[in-house]
Each structure stands twice: as C-alpha cells, then as structure tokens.
Amino acid sequence: MDTKQTVHITEDDERFHLAFEHAGIGIAVQDTDAENSCWLHVNRKLCGILGYSREELLKISVLDLLPRSGQDRNSLLEYYKQLLEKKQPHTARECRYIHKNGQIIWGRLTLSLANRRGRDSASIISIVEDITEQKKLELQVMYLAHYDNLTGLPNRAMFNERLNQTLALSKRNGWTTAVLFLGLDHFKFIADTRGHAVGDALLREITGRISASLRTEDMRARFGNDEFAIILANVGTAQDAAKVAQKLLEAVARPVVVSKEEMFLSASIGITLHPADGTDTDTLISNADVAMMRAKEQDKNSYQFYTAKMNARASEKLQLANQLHRALENDEFILHYQPKIALATGMVAGVEALLRWQRPGIGLTPPSEFIPLLEDTGLIGLVTDWIILTACRQAAAWRDAGLSDIRVAVNLSPRQFQKADAAQHLLTIVESSEVDPDLLEMEITESLLMRDPMDAARIVTALRTAGIHIALDDFGTGYSSLSYLSHFPMTSIKIDRSFIFDVIKNAQNAAITRTIIGLAHNLGMIAVAEGVETQEQVAFLTTHQCDQIQGYFFSKPLSAEDCGKFISATNRS
Ligand code: C2E
Ligand code: CA
Ligand code: CA
C-alpha cells in the first residue's frame, strides 16, 4: 500500500514538474524570508524570458534582475510586503527586468503565497508573463497619439494637456504665461510647387530653428501642416513674449537650402497672454490663432498681440463669408464697366468689367472689401465663371446693338490658374457664351505669372491661341523679370496707377512710365495707362505714345446701361 502510494505521488510529482517546466508562462518559486535573495526554482520559460540558463538565474538575486533605478526595486518590495501582510494572491503588476543582453523586458508579474503542508514557512510563487511586445506597441500608440511623426514635436493633444497643467501652475503662482501661434507664410504654395519631400525637409529644418530659439523648458508643438504653437510659462511681460516672437521670426527668415535650392520662408505669429486674453486653453489657443491670421493679413513676417477687437473682426468675417455664399445664388453681384479710350482716335476701344456687390441693406460694396474673402473661401472660382459669362454676354449685347469692336476685359484671380485644367475650363465658359473670343480680354497680374511661370505660359498660350486677348495688369508693382515677358503671348500691358498718379511731378515715375510704353511696343504689345485723372497726365501719355487710357478723367466705372450710352455717345462723334 505504502509503496503504491509513493509511486502514485511520484507520478503526480512528475506530472506537476512537467507542467511547471513546460508552462507557457514564466514561473519561479522562492522563500518568503528571502525576498532579497534568489529564486529556488525557475521554469524553462522564465529562463527564456530573461535570457539566462537555469544555473545562472538561480545564482542572481531577484532584485539584481531589475533596472538600477530605485523605482522598480521599491515597487517590487512593496508588492512583496502587501502579499505577506494580506497573505492572499494579488492582482498583477507591470514589472521591468533586465535581460542578460541588457535590454529591458516588460513583465506582468503576479505573486502568490503557497503554504507547504507541514511547514511553517510559505513559498512565494512568481508568475511572469512577457509583455514586452505589447508594451512596445502601447508606447508606440502613446507616441503616435501625442507626437507628430514628421518633426518629432508634441502634437495638439499633448500641447493642450501641457497648457492645461501650465495654466494651473500660472494661476497658483500668479504668472503671466504666453501662447504663441506660428504659421508659415505661403508654405502650401512651396509644398505644392516644389513637392512634398521638399516641404517635409523645410518643416524639419524650421522645427530645429524654432527649438533653437527657445529655452529647453518652453513647450512647442506642431499643430497643423504649417502651424506651430509654443507655451512660454512665466514669461514676465508682454515685451518678453514679443522678444521671443521676434527671435522666432528671424530664425525662420534665414535662407534655407534644400536640394541645393536656396529658399526663403517667413512666418506670422499671434500672441495671447494668460490671464489677460483668456484663462482656459481653448480661448487662449483660438485667440492666438485669430491674432496670427491678423498678422498674416497685415504684414507677413510679423507678430501681433491678440486684442478683443480681433474677435469681433473674425466673426464679422465669418458672417460676411456666409453672406457671400448667398450673394451668388441671389444674383447680388453685378458688373460695372470702365471705358478705355484709344488716344489715337479718342474712341472707346474697350471696357474693363469690375465686380460690385449689391449688399442687401448696405448698398454697393467695392471689391477690395470682399474679393480677398472670395479667394479665401474658394468662392472666387464660381464667381469668376459668372463674371466671364456675364462679360461675354455684355460684349455680344453691345455688338448686337451696333456698337462695334468693344472688347470687354475681365480680371482673373490667381486661383483660376491653380486648377489642372485651367485653360480648358475658361475656354468652355467662353464657348458657351457664343461670343467671338476676339471681343474678350483677360487681365492677369505679374504675380500670377511668376508663381509657376511654365504652367502660366501654357495657360496663357492656350487662351491666346483661342483668340482671347491677354493684358498684364498692375504692371511695375510686381517682381517679374522683364526678360520673362517675351515668353508670354500678351497683347497689352497696363501701367499701374501708382506710377500714373504722380507721373507729372515725379521724374522717376515718369521715366518708368516711358520705359514701360517703350517695352510694350518692342514686344509688340499695346500700352494702357490706368488711373488717369487729369488733363496733364493725358498730355504726358499722348506725348509718349501710350495707346490707351483708363481713368476717372474720361469715366468712372459705369453700370452696363450707362456704359452703353457712354460708348455710343463717344464713338459716334
Ligand atoms: P484693378 O484691376 O487695377 O481695377 C482698377 C481699379 O481702379 C478699379 O477699382 C477702378 O474703379 C479704379 N480706378 C479706375 N480709374 C481710376 C482713377 O482714375 N483713379 C483711381 N484712384 N482709381 C481708378 P475697383 O473697381 O475698386 O477694383 C479694385 C480691384 O479689385 C481691381 O483692381 C481688381 O484687382 C479687383 N477686381 C475688381 N473687379 C474684379 C473682378 O471682377 N475679378 C477679380 N478677380 N478682381 C477684381
Ligand atoms: Ca484690372
Ligand atoms: Ca489694374
């Protein structure tokens, strides 16, 4: 009987031993009074997890398997203590070990007590699950959720968290804290034209410069594509925040070389101060954003402090944008037409169509007040389609009324040239109006041409080939090189009114005006002077053989009806 039982127990033992040894989880046994010392038994899995042979592992103190920081050791000792006091199994804890190869292993450790029959002392069983992979993923997710992949900067979520903490500290300590919102000027344009790899390289370079301009403890984050935000905790005065903003502007403005090309960037910065401009994260950030937009509008490469007035402006703008959406549907846009007089004959050679908005309850609104907003909201595309169609129909109407050869000019916004099928799109509208393209002129500015000269040249050539006339508007104010002009099949150049304005008194502007007229003629183009208001200006322009004149001297922009009358009166005589 005895022997039978012994055999039985031994078989059980063996089975348990096998289960222990081959368990898919790390298991170790140690004495309760030996928390500082070594494990007494370890299974194969645990050896694998920690990278040691069984013999090696049994000689190492358990605490020596932990990272050197006191934190891990204290946490484990605390766990042992709780176990021994409560004498019951405990919920698992995360615990870090050092693998034999020096790498950190994350384990999920469960300790339990096993009382051995017939003995006073119990054993401590450690169950160790290797969760290193899981932990790595977790950290990666944490990283992705809080950092921007491209620049390695914290993202918006992390920024908000930090700003919250900083504001709590600021309140307690009576600090002034500043939030800076930095947007790169024209960045989208650069990324679109130079490719996104160049855009990314620029962003990394700018990130480095921003960091170099700040103290290590100043929180910085990437918010959107080309937007960054910065917290200056306990900054002192507004003046100190301005100094940092200035430093940042200078850092961004230094030339950047990417793929051997030297590029120039600039930034606009909005600044809000806690507690003056807001006491919570959302208000401070959105007010800094509003101030940044203001800086962009006024003068790029500058900073602006937030003022309460700006918010009023921003909401006014939003309202205006909503009204503009409706304006197109409700036929609130109209065109006025300003005659252009041919100096050689004194007759009206053409007119320029100028957009007006009949705002309900407000009246006729000039384009300077809403065209930038049409451009910002992307509505300009639809509105320009309408302008072209209306202008073409007007040209046809005047032709049908017997007013011969009145060419109608429309102004194109840069947006029109940014579409892939820009030329085709414009031509389709012209064709649908069934007017002879020779009666249509499109005015474009130098800056529109210079954004992407190759592309612009293709579009302009396509329009010109179809018979449409092309005028270069506001000439002299942009930065195009004159040599470029010959690449574009333009039909006329309009001398900007800032030169005509004091052409009589200002010798330099007189020289510029003469030169532009000469240049136009050399390139086989017509020279048109804008903003002509006086008899003296007309005389000067006549002497220097300017071809056409546009300005209040002859006529202000007129309604279609009045303009028709003006043309028939002028061209009859
Ligand atoms: P712009 O193309 O240079 O148009 C000429 C502007 O000069 C017009 O102002 C016109 O009223 C004004 N002007 C004409 N003669 C004189 C003069 O003798 N003295 C002075 N001081 N000004 C004169 P407006 O109509 O307010 O248009 C301003 C600008 O708005 C235009 O400048 C153009 O850039 C833009 N714009 C106007 N209509 C349209 C349009 O239909 N589409 C687009 N994209 N832009 C437009
Ligand atoms: Ca124009
Ligand atoms: Ca002009």
Minimal CA–CA distance to 209: which of 235, 191, 184, 234? 184
Does 367 sit in the ligand 1 pocket, CB within 6 Å?
A: yes
- Would the pLDDT of 35 be above 70? no
Q: How many CA atoms lie within 13 A of 531 on its CB side?
A: 14
The CA distance from 487 to 323, in Å, is 41
* Closest approach atom of ligand 1 to CA 366: 26
Q: Residue 555 CA: which ligand is closest?
A: 1
Local structure of residue 414 (DSSP, 8 states):
G
pLDDT band at 87 (very low <50, low <70, confident <90, very high): low
Residue 32: is it exposed, middle or buried by C-beta count within 10 angstroms (0-12/13-18/19+)? middle
- Would the pLDDT of 66 be above 80? yes
Does 290 sit in the ligand 1 pocket, CB within 6 Å?
A: no
- Would the pLDDT of 3 be above 50? no
Residue to mutate, 374, 386, 389, 411, ligand 1, most ligand atoms under 8 Å from C-beta: 411
Q: What residue owns the CA closest to ligand 1's atom 37? A: 354
* Closest approach atom of ligand 1 to CA 557: 11
| Strands 26-31 and 41-42, sheet pairing | antiparallel
- Would the pLDDT of 133 be above 90? no
Q: For domain 7-137, give the CATH number.
A: 3.30.450.20
- Would the pLDDT of 1 be above 50? no
* Closest approach atom of ligand 1 to CA 474: 3
Say what the pLDDT of residue 483 is: 58
Å from CA of 494 to ligand 3 middle:
7
Q: For domain 147-306, give the CATH number.
A: 3.30.70.270
Does 387 sit in the ligand 1 pocket, CB within 6 Å?
A: yes
The CA distance from 325 to 318, in Å, is 11
Fold agreement between 147-306 and 327-572? no
Q: Which residues of 373-399 are buried (b: 16+ CB within 10 A; e: fewer)?
A: bbeeeebbbebbbbbbbbbbebbbebe
For residue 231, report the phi and psi dihedrals to the nearest 5 degrees: -110, 125
Average pLDDT over residues 50-77: 91
Per domain, the residue ranges of the chain are 7-137, 147-306, 327-572
Q: Which helix (H) or strand (E) holds 223?
A: strand 219-224
Å from CA of 409 to ligand 2 middle:
8
Range scoring the smallest mean pLDDT among 92-106, 402-416, 449-463, 513-527: 449-463
Å from CA of 460 to ligand 2 middle:
16
pLDDT digits (tens, 9 = 90+) for 263-279: 888 999 999 999 999 99
The CA distance from 438 to 467, in Å, is 5
CATH topology for 327-572?
A: TIM Barrel (3.20.20)
The CA distance from 4 to 388, in Å, is 107
For residue 507, the one-letter residue type is: A
- Would the pLDDT of 537 be above 90? yes
Å from CA of 355 to ligand 1 middle:
8
Say what the pLDDT of residue 31 is: 85
Average pLDDT over residues 214-222: 94
Q: Which residues of 159-196 are buried (b: 16+ CB within 10 A; e: fewer)?
A: bbebbeebbeebeeeebbbbbbbbbbbebeebbeebee
Average pLDDT over residues 451-460: 84
Q: Residue 338 CA: which ligand is closest?
A: 1
Does 314 sit in the ligand 1 pocket, CB within 6 Å?
A: no
C-alpha triplet 392, 398, 401: angle, nearest 5° = 140
Percentage of the chain modeled with pLDDT above 90:
58
Count of residues making up the chain = 573
Å from CA of 314 to ligand 2 middle:
28
Does 509 sit in the ligand 1 pocket, CB within 6 Å?
A: no
Residue 353: is it exposed, middle or buried by C-beta count within 10 angstroms (0-12/13-18/19+)? buried
Does 354 sit in the ligand 1 pocket, CB within 6 Å?
A: yes
Minimal CA–CA distance to 43: which of 59, 57, 60? 57
What's the chain's Rg over C-alpha atoms? 38
- Would the pLDDT of 37 be above 90? no
Residues measured by CB to lie within 5 Å of ligand 3, the ion = 473-474, 530
Query: Comparing 251 with 85, which gets the higher pLDDT?
Result: 251
Say what the pLDDT of residue 245 is: 96
Percentage of the chain modeled with pLDDT above 70:
95
Say what the pLDDT of residue 25 is: 95
Å from CA of 354 to ligand 1 middle:
6
The CA distance from 325 to 330, in Å, is 9
Chain centroid to Cα 121, Å, comes to 67
**β partners of residue 340:** 350
pLDDT digits (tens, 9 = 90+) for 140-192: 777 778 888 899 999 998 999 999 999 999 999 999 999 999 999 888 877 87
For residue 141, the one-letter residue type is: V
The CA distance from 353 to 170, in Å, is 57
Å from CA of 445 to ligand 3 middle:
8
Q: Residue 477 CA: which ligand is closest?
A: 3
Does 339 sit in the ligand 1 pocket, CB within 6 Å?
A: no
Does 528 sit in the ligand 1 pocket, CB within 6 Å?
A: no
Does 277 sit in the ligand 1 pocket, CB within 6 Å?
A: no
Q: Residue 370 CA: which ligand is closest?
A: 1
pLDDT band at 412 (very low <50, low <70, confident <90, very high): very high
Average pLDDT over residues 281-286: 93
Does 128 sit in the ligand 1 pocket, CB within 6 Å?
A: no
pLDDT digits (tens, 9 = 90+) for 477-511: 765 555 567 778 999 999 999 999 999 999 888 98
Average pLDDT over residues 131-145: 82
Say what the pLDDT of residue 549 is: 98
Say what the pLDDT of residue 358 is: 94
- Would the pLDDT of 438 be above 50? yes
Å from CA of 532 to ligand 1 middle:
13
Residue to mutate, 334, 351, 354, 444, ligand 1, most ligand atoms under 8 Å from C-beta: 354
Does 474 sit in the ligand 1 pocket, CB within 6 Å?
A: yes
Average pLDDT over residues 531-557: 97
- Would the pLDDT of 476 be above 90? no
Q: Residue 474 CA: which ligand is closest?
A: 3
- Would the pLDDT of 4 be above 50? no
Q: Residue 388 CA: which ligand is closest?
A: 1
- Would the pLDDT of 23 be above 90? yes
Q: Of the spans 330-334, 430-434, 477-481, which averages the highest pLDDT?
A: 330-334
Say what the pLDDT of residue 2 is: 45
- Would the pLDDT of 6 be above 60? no
Q: Which residues of 320-332 are buried (b: 16+ CB within 10 A; e: fewer)?
A: beebbeebbeeeb
Does 38 sit in the ligand 1 pocket, CB within 6 Å?
A: no
Do 475 and 496 contact (CB within 8 A), yes or no? yes
pLDDT digits (tens, 9 = 90+) for 377-408: 788 888 999 999 999 999 999 999 999 889 99
pLDDT band at 372 (very low <50, low <70, confident <90, very high): confident
What is residue 129's three-state secondary structure?
A: strand
The CA distance from 215 to 427, in Å, is 56
